[in-house]
């Protein structure tokens, strides 16, 4: 029998999670929500262009006499500072999300493992008429025509 994870949350723990998520949602409200089209059209600062950007902003800041007022250097410097402040938090959020997704996967796998073993038991020992309907409903999971609507969302 598989048991990758055994976890249960108290109502207090769930309330704490919900409160923390609500706090994060409130803090994230100021962040930008881009459409697919907007995301596609924007310049992307990748690993190679980031050092270029940092060096260019530093050179411009060291030579203010060549910087026209409409360039937006101060805004770009503020954006860089915000990016530097945000990144370690994004890393922590990504790690938390990965852990939560791993836990979700493990829970689902544990459940499916027991369900498959139980289904096997029903097929072998559940030959009585009382279990015939249940066996038939559960066998829809394995039909070649596709899964039933009742079983497909979790599958």
Judge whether 19 lies within some domain.
no
Average pLDDT over residues 29-40: 96
Q: Give CA–CA dist 153/9, Å, rounded.
A: 23
What average pLDDT does the segment 6-28 reach? 97
Domain assignment of residue 84, yes or no = yes
- Domain assignment of residue 114, yes or no: yes
DSSP count for the chain of H helices, then E strands: 5, 0
* 84-132 pLDDT, tens digit each: 999 999 999 999 999 999 999 999 999 999 999 988 888 777 666 667 7
Percent of the chain residues past pLDDT 90, beyond the cut: 74
Q: Dihedral of CA 9/13/15/18: which sign?
A: negative
Give me the domain span that covers residue 125: 36-142
**For residue 48, what are the contacts with CB-CB under 8 A and spacing of at least 6?**
none
Q: What is the pLDDT of residue 155?
A: 44
Task: Please report the pLDDT score of residue 73 as a whole number.
Answer: 98
CA proximity to 151, closest of 111, 107, 122, 121? 111
**Greater pLDDT, 155 or 54:** 54
SS3 145: coil
- Tell whether 22 is covered by a domain: no
pLDDT of 154 > 60? The answer is: no
Is residue 130 in some structural domain? yes
Instruction: Record the pTM.
Output: 0.74
CB atoms within 10 A of CB 127: 10
Close Cβ partners of 155 (under 8 Å, ≥ 6 residues apart): 141, 147
Mean pLDDT of the chain: 89
pLDDT at residue 119, as a whole number: 85
Residue 124 covered by a domain = yes
Number of structural domains, the chain? 1
pLDDT beyond 50 at 12: yes
Q: How far apart are CA 144 and CA 141, in angstroms?
A: 9
Is the residue at 20 inside a domain? no
Q: Is the pLDDT of residue 1 over 90?
A: no
């Amino acid at each position: 029998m598989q048991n990758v994870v055994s976890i249960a949350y108290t109502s207090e723990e769930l309330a704490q999670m919900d409160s923390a998520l609500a706090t994060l949602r409130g803090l994230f409200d100021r962040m930008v929500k881009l459409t697919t089209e907007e995301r596609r059209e924007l310049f992307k600062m990748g690993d190679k262009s980031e050092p270029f950007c940092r060096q260019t902003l530093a050179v411009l800041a060291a030579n203010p006499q060549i910087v026209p007022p409409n360039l937006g250097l101060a805004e770009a410097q503020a954006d860089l500072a915000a990016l530097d402040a945000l990144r370690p938090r994004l890393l922590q959020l990504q790690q938390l999300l990965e852990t939560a997704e791993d836990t979700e996967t493990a829970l689902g796998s544990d459940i499916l493992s027991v369900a498959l073993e139980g289904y096997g038991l029903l097929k072998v020992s559940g030959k009585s008429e009382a279990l015939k309907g249940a066996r038939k409903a559960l066998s829809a999971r394995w039909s070649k025509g596709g899964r039933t609507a009742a079983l497909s969302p979790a599958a």
